Amino acid sequence: MSIEERVRERLQAGDTDGAATAALRELGPTVLGYLRSVLRDEGDAADAFSVFAENLWKGLATFRFDCALKTWSYRVAWYAALNLRNEAWRRRGRPFATGEASALAEEIRTKTVVRVARQQQALDQLRQSLSMDDQSLLVLRVDQGLPWDEIATVLAEEGHPVQPLTLMKRFERLKDRLAKMARDQGLVD
């Protein structure tokens, strides 16, 4: 049963708190990731997530399912982020009252922070296990977003040009190898 079906069923049964809890537990981690990306500050993301959780908790009873629950949740989060940015001076002046939704939001945020940190550490270890050439190729293409011809220029040895097509093939093999290593370490399914 999808989260949308579970929430709708609980709302129809009059269990608004159960519906909100299910929605926050299911959608909360991805919404928090979205807020982190948009706000680019862990403290601001945590504050916006608390506001999001409170607004979802209060507004879910009147949600009409005119759009997908996930879409509506992202919209609620977007407005929480906008309000945080627009009223930052007011937010700094008053502490947010901790209610049931805020406590649940904090629990989800804390678990997500720990999980993301562990995943990042594991990915860093995977990168470190690569040769220097492979690490360089990965950083230039993924982290720096350089086009293949520029990467070929960077990685060319004196008197030995590197063909962009060769690098593309090497990169594909590297991605496959990294995916296998990540699966072997339980980082991905």
- Which position has the higher pLDDT, 92 or 140? 140
115 in the same domain as 38 = yes
Percent of all residues in the chain with a pLDDT value above 70, rounded to a whole number: 90
- Which position has the higher pLDDT, 61 or 146? 61
106 in the same domain as 51 = yes
Indicate whether 124 belongs to any domain: no
pLDDT mean over 135-145:
78
pLDDT in tens, 27-63: 999 889 888 878 878 888 899 999 999 999 999 999 9
Indicate whether 71 belongs to any domain: yes
How confident is the model at residue 129, as a pLDDT? 85
64 in the same domain as 38 = yes
How confident is the model at residue 98, as a pLDDT? 54
Indicate whether 22 belongs to any domain: yes
User: For residue 71, what pLDDT band results from cuts at 50, 70 and 90?
Assistant: confident
pLDDT in tens, 91-133: 455 555 557 777 777 777 777 766 767 777 777 788 778 877 7
Whole-model pTM: value is 0.51
102 in the same domain as 151 = no
Say which range, 44-53, 68-77, 86-95, 157-166, has the weakest mean pLDDT: 86-95
How confident is the model at residue 181, as a pLDDT? 87
Domain boundary among 74, 98, 119: 119
Domain boundary among 98, 119, 140: 119
pLDDT mean over 8-24:
94
How confident is the model at residue 92, as a pLDDT? 55
- The range of the structural domain enclosing residue 28 comes to 3-119
Rg, the chain, Cα only: 22
